[in-house]
Structure 1
């Protein structure tokens, strides 16, 4: 992962990586890959919206599972061209832990070789199949405001708002909206009221949707047209 950032330390709970810093799992204990597909892909209307140059941005890179699931979805849909994927991460996971986490999903691990090699070498820009990936190191509250791009879809995948409130603040959600292309979307596993209100205040049309597995609800939304 990018040099100069402190790696998160990981403990393991039934084969699922848990952040020692935030005491929160990196993905669902039930089935992390199914969760990613339900929450972040389907929640953003993907793969139906994919097109050449489509740009996904993410808060919280974690194990890289969301990226790998996205690549698999793109390939499965037979979309021509290239995908852009930008992820903001303050506390990267060590490449060895990333490999161990992805090993739970053989289909994901099969395409993750370039990701693991790049992260092991500390690369910030690399390709994984059709995806051109940029990892932005550091606190998103500092790095996102100066980011010169806008995303077509956002994966909001920080740790639980109760344990990692920095990634769910009203100011940061406003920056997410400011860095969203017209008609762009977001999806997140959390249905916390203060998060939904912050995203609505930022300009998204927010709705609560069925969550993954035992989780009753998640949130998704579309950026409102400027008036």
Structure 2
């Protein structure tokens, strides 16, 4: 059994010549080597059909906060949808990046970086709960296998964005996917960039109708699903 992480450990980062950050713990990049923001929009924003689903009180949850790029993409989509009141974003992150690395990574995406100022200011001060013009954000640090079980919320949409299942299997196991299902609101959805068979099976067991759909760029497939009644 894998030993659980009990204390917050800051992510160790190396940088590719292209400017893409790579997590040393998992030897995996934080975002697409092509266009990470476009991939985020394809997989998580469009995959969850957020443009038509945002409403007051809408809750997004995420496994794997990383650079905050997915959160910023959701924030931009929320503003485009008219900024419905009470929307929120909760993310579970075991290895938070420091502010300087996040800022360096986000500079690759001018649209996201342009709205990241309040987030970056809060993050640098150590805040893990902050508000972006009424879009509330909470980042819960620690092993998601423990922290998600203790969360009292339910998500209307899940972003499952851990590192590659082959390199980070702890974030894709059946027990944790079961907690994702248990913390999903009626008719809630998930999307993820991976189409790994064991992940799709775990999400099926967790209560989702799972489908494999076209991925972004060179990734042939991704997965999405809706919680069964």
- 1:165 maps to 169
2: distance between equivalents of 1:131 and 1:140? 23
- 2:189 maps to 185
Contact 2:54–2:84, Cα closer than 8 Å, also in 1: no
RMSD: 0.9
- 1:8 maps to 11
Instruction: Classify the secondary structure of the residue corresponding to 1:28.
Output: coil
Contact 2:122–2:130, Cα closer than 8 Å, also in 1: yes
Please, which of 182, 197, 201 is the counterpart of residue 205 of structure 2?
Answer: 201
Would you say 1:124 and 2:123 are equivalent positions? no
2: distance between equivalents of 1:204 and 1:211? 19
Please, which of 50, 67, 72 is the counterpart of residue 68 of structure 1?
Answer: 72
1: distance between equivalents of 2:177 and 2:124? 31
Q: What does residue range 10-89 of structure 1 map to in structure 2 within 5 Å? A: 10-13=13-16, 14-89=18-93
Scaled by the length of structure 1, the TM-score of the pair is: 0.96
Once the two structures are superposed, residues 18-67 of structure 1 have per-residue CA deviations (whole angstroms, 9 ceiling, x without a partner) of 11111001010100000000000111111110011100000000000000
**How far is 1:128 from its partner?**
2.0
Q: What does residue range 102-121 of structure 1 map to in structure 2 within 5 Å? A: 102-121=106-125
**How far is 1:184 from its partner?**
0.2
Please, which of 210, 221, 227 is the counterpart of residue 225 of structure 2?
Answer: 221
Instruction: Classify the secondary structure of the residue corresponding to 1:118.
Output: helix
1: distance between equivalents of 2:110 and 2:94? 27
- 1:153 maps to 157
- For structure 2, which runs of at least 5 residues remain unmatched after alignment? 1-6
Please, which of 129, 135, 140 is the counterpart of residue 136 of structure 1?
Answer: 140
Equivalent pairs counted in the alignment come to 222
Instruction: Give structure 1 regions of 4+ aligned residues with deviation exceeding 3 angstroms.
Output: none
**How far is 1:129 from its partner?**
2.8
Instruction: Classify the secondary structure of the residue corresponding to 2:84.
Output: coil
Please, which of 180, 185, 188 is the counterpart of residue 176 of structure 1?
Answer: 180
**How far is 1:78 from its partner?**
2.0
Scaled by the length of structure 2, the TM-score of the pair is: 0.95
